[in-house]
Structures are given as C-alpha cells and as structure tokens.
Chains A and B, each alone.
Chain A
C-alpha cells in the first residue's frame, strides 16, 4: 500500500501578485473579471467588453466614456477573454480625443471654419 502523499496548496507568492499586474486579455488565474477591469481602468487603458459583460461595467463611475462613433469593435473581451466582433470600447475620457477623432469634433471645427471664413480670416 502506497503512503498518502500530501501536496501543499499553492498560495499567492509575491511573484504571482506581480504577475497579476501584467496587462493581458481577460482576468488572470484566481482573479474576478470585475477586479481585473478596475485595475485596467486605474491604468487608464482601453477597456473592451463583449455584449454579456457590457452591462456589468459602469464607465461614468471610473471616468470612462463609450466610443459611440464606433459602436462595434472586434477584439478579445477584457471581462471573459472571448474574441467577439461585437465588442464595445471604453476610453479614459481625458485621453479619448488624443487617439480618436469623432464626427462631433470635426463638425464643430467645420462650423468654426465657416464662421471664420464669413469673418474674412481663417
């Protein structure tokens, strides 16, 4: 008869905790999706969520806005890690216009241009 072998349960080592900070798609082992997405938000990263994960995220609370100009994105959901062609992208609001040009922004500039031309100087 073989003796019983006891295996010590592996717990979070400092290295595991550091590794959990890595920006990868979907939550790391042993982490809930919500905590993972909050970490992404504290890094001011773009958050991509599929339709089932989308209602669980409150962008305003975290200073994020939804990209309404592009209502559909393809990519891996940050909540469940699934590739979905119908994801929604959320950007950290103060940095949104650094990387995205919206129709509203261009419309405002076009209006300003027309006004300036009427006044005789661009």
Chain B
C-alpha cells in the first residue's frame, strides 16, 4: 500500500521503530505486543492498534540482502521508518485474490436489463457477498459508470439507482465489497500490501474506505484509513 495523503492536510511524521519481525515495505505495523522486541506485523484480517505504514524494507549493510529480525548478539538491529499519522490515507491496489496483483473478476451480463438496475450473470454475488459494495462497468454503453449494490443473489447484483443505459448481454462489469463511507473492512492480500476483493469484507481489517479509483481489472485502487490506530483519538 502507498501513502497517498493526509486527511487533515498536515505534515507526515516519520518515526524509526524497532520491530519484532521482518517486514516488507508498504505494510501496516501494529502495537508492540508485551515482551516482544518491537512493533508487530498486522494480519490479512486485522490491523487493530495500527502504528503506521512501513516505508522501507530493511537491508544488510554488507551484502545488500534483507536484514531479518534477529535476537543474536552482533546481528544488525531491524529498524524501520514508519509514517505514524492516524489520518494517513492509504492507497491499495484492488486484488482479485489472496495473491497480490491478481486481476479482479470481470463479470459478463447474461440477461439484459432494460431498466439498467439488475446485473444478471452466471456468477454468485451473495457468497462472498458484495452487498453494499460497488459495481462499475468496464465495457458497453455504461463503461466507467458505477453504482452502489443494494441487493445480491446467486446470479445477480442489483442497484437502486439505474445505470444510464440498458445493460446488454456481454457487457462487462466489476463488483467489489467496498463502498466509500460505508463501514466495512478490507481483507488484505497475503503479503499485506493490497486489498483483496472476492471475499466477504465484513469483520475483516479495520479500514474505512474513503475513495476509489475505478479502472480495469488490474489497475483499480481503493483509498482507506486505518481507523483503529494507536495514535488516534480513540482506539
């Protein structure tokens, strides 16, 4: 994930923190657990007590290889720069699976809708559910338009506000379980750097979506805040 801005428009603050495990750049670290050597790694489903975004992977001075967290005397100490602002806007690529950079699924319309509200496909939209998520067309007359999904079933996703044009068989659209301003979480990819679509978002990591960049299956982004932050007003 990337640092995209600060909600308050202030100055980002970088702190260098000791870590209790090896990390890669672009992940959230969380509050140090008791009796550990430093801040801990988040998980795909939890960023509770977030400390901030890791800006660098650690490298050994000698060979340029990664410095791994170590308790051996004489080893390099693993320390990372972290942006610690609680209002940091995080930009995450939407991934279609647990593996980072998996393309999102583009569903094709199998039954036309003259009203422009029912997106009928051969795919299940109720499990994992995209209810209260977002659908946008990537081809056809409605290309680029997006709507909030208000009803889901095993064959269709329905929107309340119609798309401007009829949907036609063969039109392609993408649906994701997130909607800006809606209180849902985000499950992260296994490397903790991207937002994983294609899973039920409820009960996952405590992010609040704030914005989206709706493009194709491989270059759509979600902007979110880690709302359970140790330096926030309440955690």
Q: Which residue numbers of A lie inside 8 Å of B, CB to CB?
A: 15, 18, 21-25, 39, 42-46, 48, 70, 72-76, 85, 87, 89, 91-92, 95, 97-101, 106, 109-110, 112-113, 116-117, 120-122
Contact of A43 among B58, B138, B143 (CB under 8 A): B58
Contact of B213 among A45, A48, A106, A121 (CB under 8 A): A106
**Is B81 interfacial (CB 8 A cutoff)?**
yes
Contact of A73 among B2, B14, B74 (CB under 8 A): B14
Contact (Cβ within 8 A) B2 A24: no
Contact (Cβ within 8 A) A75 B15: yes
Contact of B79 among A23, A97, A122 (CB under 8 A): A23
List the A side residues contacting B67 at CB < 8 Å: 43
Contact (Cβ within 8 A) B215 A113: yes
Contact (Cβ within 8 A) A74 B13: yes
- Closest 6 CB pairs between A and B? A23-B79, A101-B2, A122-B138, A74-B13, A75-B14, A101-B4
Closest Cβ neighbor of A76 among chain B residues: B16
Contact (Cβ within 8 A) B4 A122: no
Shortest distance between the CB of A87 and any CB in chain B (Å):
8
In the bound complex, how far is the Cα of B57 from the Cα of A11, in angstroms? 32
Shortest distance between the CB of B29 and any CB in chain A (Å):
13
Contact (Cβ within 8 A) B139 A121: yes
**Is B166 interfacial (CB 8 A cutoff)?**
no
Contact (Cβ within 8 A) A22 B11: no
In the bound complex, how far is the Cα of B25 from the Cα of A112, in angstroms? 27
Contact (Cβ within 8 A) A122 B144: yes
Binary A-proximity of B5-37 (CB < 8 A = 1, otherwise 0): 000000111111000000001100000000000
**Is B91 interfacial (CB 8 A cutoff)?**
yes
- Known pairs A43-B59, A117-B143, A117-B144; list 17 more (Cβ under 8 Å): A23-B16, A24-B16, A39-B61, A43-B58, A46-B14, A73-B11, A73-B14, A89-B14, A99-B1, A99-B2, A99-B54, A101-B91, A106-B4, A109-B213, A113-B213, A121-B138, A122-B216
List the B side residues contacting A73 at CB < 8 Å: 11-14
In the bound complex, how far is the Cα of B13 from the Cα of A117, in angstroms? 38
In the bound complex, how far is the Cα of B11 from the Cα of A103, in angstroms? 16
Shortest distance between the CB of A82 and any CB in chain B (Å):
14
Contact (Cβ within 8 A) A98 B25: yes
Shortest distance between the CB of A22 and any CB in chain B (Å):
4
In the bound complex, how far is the Cα of B215 from the Cα of A25, in angstroms? 41
Binary A-proximity of B50-73 (CB < 8 A = 1, otherwise 0): 000111111111001001000000
Which of the listed residues A72, A91, A122 has the most CB atoms from chain B within 10 Å of its own CB? A122
List the B side residues contacting A121 at CB < 8 Å: 138-139, 143, 172
Shortest distance between the CB of B99 and any CB in chain A (Å):
17
Contact (Cβ within 8 A) A120 B143: yes
In the bound complex, how far is the Cα of B215 from the Cα of A55, in angstroms? 41
In the bound complex, how far is the Cα of B75 from the Cα of A22, in angstroms? 9
List the B side residues contacting A101 at CB < 8 Å: 2-4, 91
Contact (Cβ within 8 A) A97 B143: no
Shortest distance between the CB of B40 and any CB in chain A (Å):
18
Closest Cβ neighbor of B217 among chain A residues: A122
Contact (Cβ within 8 A) A46 B215: no
List the B side residues contacting A120 at CB < 8 Å: 139, 143
In the bound complex, how far is the Cα of B4 from the Cα of A106, in angstroms? 10
In the bound complex, how far is the Cα of B77 from the Cα of A24, in angstroms? 9
